[in-house]
Amino acid sequence: MTDYSEAFKDIPGTIVFDATQSRLGFHLNQFCMSLMKAENRERFKADERAYLDQWPMTEEQKLAVMARDLNRCIELGGNIYFLAKIGATDGRSFQYMAASMTGMTQEAYAQMMLAGGRSANGNRSKSEWRNRG
């Protein structure tokens, strides 16, 4: 059986959300899911640090959330579908969030996607067996 998380580590910017990442980000993702309730969103917006301190997340995870550093949140076990709850709480679209993860403006990101997305050049696995054919 192939360990896909290991198999794809050589693709720039790729973090596979596997069992290891799931365990790492369990409390971060549970925090995100808590934002589905209006009263929790209000508590979070009123005092982010106090709300985050109610969760047994790492300090790195809390700081990444407060900085809205979604790439770092993903590195620390966050799942983008859960992290989207933070963007929704902030009144941000998924497109805005994706753009922020690329370092692009929302408009530039939208244009890139409309033009066919990011080039695969430089963003492929370096592993021999995946690049045959």
Q: What CA–CA distance (Å, rounded) separates 51 from 100?
A: 24
Tell me if residue 48 falls in helix, strand or coil. Answer: helix
Q: Is the pTM of this model over 0.95?
A: no
Question: pLDDT means per 10 residues in the chain (133 residues)?
Answer: 62 82 96 98 98 98 98 96 96 92 89 86 63 50
| Residue 99, SS3 per DSSP | helix
Question: For position 3, what pLDDT does the model report?
Answer: 56
Answer for the pair 13, 123: CB distance below 8 angstroms, yes or no.
yes
Domain boundaries, the chain: 14-92, 93-133
14-92: which CATH topology? Protocatechuate 4,5-dioxygenase; Chain A (1.10.700)
At 31 the pLDDT is 98
Residue-level pLDDT at 17: 85
Q: What is the pLDDT of residue 1?
A: 41
Phi/psi region, residue 16 (left: phi>0; alpha: psi -120 to 50; beta: rest), is: beta
At 119 the pLDDT is 76
